[in-house]
Homo-oligomer: A and B are copies of this chain.
Amino acid sequence: MVTIRDVAKEAGVSVATVSRVLNETGYVHEDTRKRVMDTMKELNYSPNEVARSLYKKKSKLIGLLLPDITNPFFPQLARGVEDEMQKQGFRLLFGNSDEQPEKELDYIHTFVQNNVVGIISATNHTSKTNYQDLSIPVVFLDRTSNDYPSVYADGKEGGKIAAEEMVRRGSKRITLLKGPAHIQPAQDRFQGALEYLSQSNVDFHVIATTSFAFEDAEKWAKELFDTYPDTDGVLASNDIVATAVLHEALRLGRSIPTDVQIIGFDDIPQSSLLFPSLSTIRQPAYEMGKEAAALLIKLMRKEPVQQKHIQLPVTFIKRETTREVEIND
């Protein structure tokens, strides 16, 4: 390993001078600068980030905490974060929490131990206790917060739009799948849909669910058509659940969207590949990741930010699990 001393010796200068050309701070004569640069190249030197981090008490690392990267919604988020961070010279320390407070705590802890300069967290389970003692900026992603900067999609509006489209497209007996109670975005979209349906003149039922796993979703789907066989419209808490409902409906011989309409949430990549392809409310996951990264960077640089809570719009993606309507479609 070649250190700053080696470069200094080889170039016939002090380590201080090498440090100066390295960081472009202070005065360095052009000639010596060139000489130092040359020897750095010659020796293939590159600074030890750990030593830098120790002295400056800050690294170029940021911590990214997700619930579970194998949930198809999160890779896009992660990629958005990474692309923005990479562009700005930051690297990612990455962990999955599985929405388990201990794991979350543990990762936050090791992030701090490694001098990360900022954290992006997309977890939902825990209260703010994990984060309040931190001296570094934190941005919550896919989750709102009064206490911390956050980037999220307008879940409530999304729920409303979904309900609206479903009613507009003629469903009369709607079943609403309420997502896990501890997942805030799921509750937002549920509330949005609920409010709309409450003041509309259609029948509706609510089924409470507790996870987003496909295997669980298959059970809710069965329960749904068991309990409410005359359902002609399903508002699912996300695309995974919607997919399970679609499967079950098909299995039962229902015609989609003629007998039953289905609207999902998220617009994960596979939703357009289903048959019939899934109508859904799209969250701009990649953009959310990018926005969160950009916000965190501003915060870390102590640049003024007027908007600490960035809400991104959701859009209805009309595909084949909803019917056509004559006007405005």
Give chain A's interface residues, CB within 8 Å of chain B.
Answer: 1, 46-51, 53-54, 57, 59-61, 64, 68-70, 72, 74-76, 78-79, 82, 86, 91-96, 103, 107, 109-110, 113-115, 214, 243, 247, 250, 269-270, 273-276
Contact = CB atoms under 8 A, between A and B. Distances in A.
Contacts of A110: 49, 60, 91
A184 B26 CA distance: 50
A51 B48 CA distance: 12
A326 to B, nearest CB: 26
A61 B250 CA distance: 47
A58 to B, nearest CB: 10
Nearest to A243: B273
A247 B273 contact: yes
A113 B49 contact: yes
A69 B61 contact: no
Contact of A113 (B48, B54, B270, B276): B48
A69 B79 contact: yes
Contacts of A115: 48-50
A48 B91 CA distance: 19
Contacts of A69: 69, 75, 78-79, 82
Contacts of A60: 110
A156 to B, nearest CB: 27
B61 A70 contact: no
A43 B269 CA distance: 48
Given A50-B50, A50-B115, A54-B54, A96 B82 contact: yes
A247 B61 CA distance: 42
A134 to B, nearest CB: 11
A90 to B, nearest CB: 10
A74 B91 CA distance: 19
B70 A79 contact: yes
B70 A96 contact: no
Contacts of A54: 48, 50-51, 54
A1 B133 CA distance: 11
